[in-house]
Amino acid sequence: METKGTDEVEKLKSKFMSAWHNVKYSWALKTKTAFSRNSPVFLLGKCYHFKAVDDESPTESSTADALDDDVVVMGNVDGFRRDFTSRVWLTYREELPALPGSTLTSDCGWGCTLRAGQMVLSQALLLHILGRDWTWAEALTLEPLDTETWTSSAARKLVATLEASVQGERAQVTQPHCSSQGRAEEADSYLKEAYHRTIVSWFGDGPLAQLGIHRLVQLGLTSGKQAGDWYGPAVVAHILRKAVDGATDPMLKGLSVYVAQDCTVYSADVIDSHLGQTGSHSNPQGLNTGAAPGSRAVIILIPVRLGGEKINTEYFSFVKSILSLEYCIGIIGGKPKQAYYFVGFQDDSLIYLDPHYCQSFVDVSTSNFPLQSYHCPSPKKMAFNKMDPSCTIGFYSKNIEHYERISSQLSKILQPSSKEKYPAFTFMKGHGKDYELSVSVEKREWPFIKDTRKAGATSGDFVLL
């Protein structure tokens, strides 16, 4: 009888916390992100300059302008906006089907690292299927999230309005535009948009989604994690590996995930992953998987520690170098108590996508589900010195030759400085088993990661979109 009473109390606590988190993360704060016109902006290997070529005014060029301001477009601002907004944005969701092993119907307050991991994986899939130059045709039509302060109900109404508006524009404008471009371009555009929609659907918030939150939570159970627990970036890397390995969609059979062991990438293991594709994994649809016949692409995830309690300033230039590489798919990182998806930088600030925003469940099983909530038009910045030293770095390698170039280039970047004697990670020849590694990171949380859910949160802990 006492056990039953305890269970009821836990259920009530769970429901209360879920309701509180849904309210807490359903607000968008009215803030603007400033970008300097003088300094280049790097976004997943691409460089953008906001200063116009003919802009020689020292006063004007030295000011920092918010991208959301209604100002004259300078330099390549639109190019950056389009590129950033085209990245897949995965956030907290509410009103979900119950998560495995629990009664929770939302991941608010605890699933941010899983969401950041999903975003790293989604970027790899965009590279794998669509290429780095792909951008979403509707990227510049989205309204900035921080132009108004809203609740989740108001947000849902706005999304519905935007959706109706976009659908109306499609009916009136899209068809004539496509017909003028020729059938080949129209077919290519349609195919790419179908792939885009398919990629997003893999991260849907339901039990059937190949890479969705339900699937990740289910796989986390084998590592001792449950829905509602806090997940570290190293554990998430292993969960992502299992999710991709277990995916049944034919389009996902052209790649695998390799997770570095103890900050070491073993080249023979990566090459084996590249050679792991069999005849049964062939692509009957002729999809561009990014891998040569008989070879599959590999997503390389490297859990690292960039300092002690705080990030070591000697690693700032290293992180910049990593995010300047086009085959980098971003970093699962953040600052203490919350995870972000780092995608770029300007000067001494990181640019990131924030999963700490609660949105409503979207049924991705429908043929024309709304995509607006899966793309963020408002970039955020954070000072490098606020970065938590615990993170997971991701790379995409499409074949063995590509991996050899990656390892060669990274080995040069990883050369330790005079002050920092140890590189963030290393490359080794041979297999991991040759070095008798027996401790699996996925079976334990890293000792320097603490369960921050017990710590009191302050009003300055969260940057809400």
Q: Name which of 226, 239, 236 is nearest 104 in CA terms.
A: 226
Q: Determine the Cα–Cα distance for residues 432 and 93; give it in Å rounded to an integer.
A: 38
Residue with tokens 């020729």: 182
Task: Specify whether 112 is catalytic.
Answer: yes
Q: How many Cβ atoms from other residues are within 10 Å of residue 5's Cβ?
A: 9
Residue 226 has a CB neighbour count (10 Å cut-off) of 14
Catalytic residue among 354, 358, 391, 402: 354
d(CA 239, CA 219): 6
Written as one string, the DSSP assignment of 220-257 is HGGGT--TTS---HHHHHHHHHHHHHT---GGGTTEEE
Per DSSP, the three-state class of 376 is coil
CB 358 within 8 A of CB 258: no
Q: Report which of 379, 392, 402, 269 is spatially closest to residue 327, judged by C-alpha positions.
A: 402
**Looking at 306-463, which runs of residues are DSSP E strands?**
328-335, 338-346, 349-353, 359-360, 380-383, 390-397, 426-428
- Contact in structure between 52 and 61 (CB atoms under 8 Å): no
Token pair of 97 as six digits: 């089907």
Our measurement of the distance from residue 231's CA atom to the centroid of its chain's CA atoms, rounded to an integer in Å, reads 15
Catalytic option among 68, 83, 107, 112: 112
* Angstrom distances, CA of residue 213 to CA of 88, 112, 191, 409: 15, 11, 27, 34
Number of H helices, E strands in the chain: 12, 15
Q: Distance between CA atoms of 241 and 235, rounded to whole angstroms?
A: 10
How buried is residue 309: exposed, middle or buried, by Cβ count under 10 Å (0-12/13-18/19+)? exposed
Dig out the tokens for 304 from the structure: 């690292």
Which stretches does DSSP call E strand in 139-179? none
Q: Which two tokens stand for residue 206?
A: 């339901």
Whether the Cβ atoms of residue 258 and residue 392 lie closer than 8 Å to each other: no
Catalytic residue among 196, 356, 375, 402: 356
Active site residue 354: yes
Residue numbers annotated as active site: 112, 354, 356
